[in-house]
Amino acid sequence: MPTTLETTNLFADRRAFIGRSIQTMLNKPLALNLEERDRFAALNEELRSLEPLIEKENRTQFERDYNRVFARHLRFGSKPGAWGPGVSPDERKILEKRDMATAGQAAYPGATSGFLASMEFNAEVTSAMKYFGGVVSTCTFFETTTGTPRPFPVDNDTTSVGEMLPEATQMTAEDVPIGQTILNSYRFDSKIIKVSNELLLDTGFDFPAYLTRRLAIRLARIYNYVLTNGSGSNQPLGLTNAAAVGAVAVGSSGNTGFNDGSNTVGSADLAALEGSVDPSYRIGAAYMMSSGTLAYLRALLDKSGRPIFLGLHEGPPNSVLNYPVVLNDDMDQLQTEPSSPPVTRKTVAFGKFDQYICRRAPLWVYQFRERWAEYFQTGFACLQRADGSLIDGGGGAVKLLTNVY
């Protein structure tokens, strides 16, 4: 198949035509008249406008070629063998060209596995991940081309106000306190998925789509757990450890009339949690809790035995106090029994969850063809480096409700 540079590009064809026209005009023995000079200027202007279009078309065509070849590489490998025909030398150059341009020495001519996933494949994995877990579905992903430490500038100017002065009075100087949060890169992987080579050879089977789903679910689960609960020591600083405590639960006794201590969550607790977050962060805010906590709130009754949250508002399917609810089963669950010694559980979060930033390096897909060759199976694994933290400068974009047991 042709490489990107050999692929037909209508913009490039137009550029060649304009180039020939300009050359013909320059080769005239007589000076250009006014009409010809105007046409010459117009052709030059069009020529300049074509350059970014040609570059974009080349990139687009290359990604289409790469997606097709990458899917073939996943099914048949990079070389002919018992599992299939592999990819041709020209197709292999497309894989190597993108990987060497993107990842430097990460791939090299002659490599047999570990090619960077195509942008389409990467996007499909990312899209599928969003269906699993609370932090993964709400955080802001920041893609980087390498895994080197990346500083993110932060500031907290929430306590500063302007001033009103009399005429001819000098203004006060007050700098904005600017700092930075460094996001590193920690390795996440999907573990190895073994697939029968007979399945790979089945031409009617959309293997890339199958692999996308399996890898995405596995990565999303480990991402969400760590980005929720990570300690920040040799791992990302999870949301529940990065956010400050906004309220301590007093329980639902004020609603139900029962003395349940602080083992549960009541409407007053949610109101206190909401009030602890600055109003500027309440626009577009949401609650985050486990499905068990939400189920408890749905069944919460007032002292007359009527549901507290049923029918009191219109909103998303999962919503409380007119705020949407993001389900995250990696958050702490409500306990029914006290602990000895007492423990603190972080059961509900509230705020702007898109202030939690997850930086990610490029996605890698590895193939293991020889390890299970005697079983006629191929292993696949997905690997990505990432880190995350709440980037709000200490402004309290997210606050937590805790229960003490």
Last-in-domain residue among 57, 83, 106:
106
Alpha carbon distance 403, 258 (integer Å): 17
Whether residue 140 is contained in a domain is answered as no
Alpha carbon distance 347, 335 (integer Å): 10
pLDDT in tens, 351-397: 999 999 999 998 888 888 788 888 888 888 888 999 999 998 888 99
Q: How far apart are the first and last CA of the chain?
A: 66
The candidate with the shortest Cα–Cα distance to 400, out of 313, 272, 306, 311, is 272
Alpha carbon distance 20, 220 (integer Å): 54
Whether residue 123 is contained in a domain is answered as no
Instruction: Tell me which of 95-99, 154-158, 289-293 is least confident.
Output: 95-99
For residues 255 and 308, the answer to whether their CB atoms sit within 8 Å is yes
* Residue range 296-311: mean pLDDT, rounded: 79
Torsion angle, alpha carbons of 10, 16, 22, 23, to 10 = -170
Whether residue 335 is contained in a domain is answered as yes
Evaluate the CA torsion angle 328, 334, 340, 341 in order and state its sign.
Answer: positive
On the question of pLDDT at 133 being above 80, the answer is: no
Cα 354 from chain centre: 11
Looking at every residue in the chain, the average pLDDT score rounds to: 81
Whether residue 63 is contained in a domain is answered as yes
ω into 177 cis (within 30 of 0): no
* Residue range 268-296: mean pLDDT, rounded: 93
Which domain range does residue 96 map to?
7-23+39-106
Q: What is the pLDDT of residue 257?
A: 74
Whether residue 388 is contained in a domain is answered as no
Alpha carbon distance 209, 257 (integer Å): 53
Report the DSSP pairing between strands 319-320 and 323-327.
antiparallel
398 and 252 in one domain?
yes
pLDDT in tens, 390-401: 998 888 999 999
Q: What is the pLDDT of residue 2?
A: 41
Whether residue 116 is contained in a domain is answered as no
The model's pTM is: 0.69
pLDDT in tens, 249-264: 998 888 877 776 668 8
Last-in-domain residue among 48, 71, 106:
106
Q: What is the pLDDT of residue 197?
A: 79
- Read off the DSSP letter of residue 401: E
Confidence category of residue 1, pLDDT binned at 50, 70, 90? very low
Alpha carbon distance 122, 127 (integer Å): 9
| DSSP E strand boundaries for 127-168 | 140-143, 150-155
* Domain count for the chain: 2
Whether residue 125 is contained in a domain is answered as no
Whether residue 139 is contained in a domain is answered as no
The candidate with the shortest Cα–Cα distance to 404, out of 248, 218, 211, 184, is 248
pLDDT in tens, 30-41: 887 888 888 888
**Domain at 307, CATH number:** 3.30.2320
- Read off the DSSP letter of residue 344: E
How many H helices and E strands in the chain? 12, 14
Last-in-domain residue among 54, 86, 106:
106
Q: What is the pLDDT of residue 4?
A: 40
In sequence order, what are the residues at sequence separation of 6 or more whose Cβ sits closer than 8 angstroms to the Cβ of residue 197? 82, 83, 84, 376, 377, 378
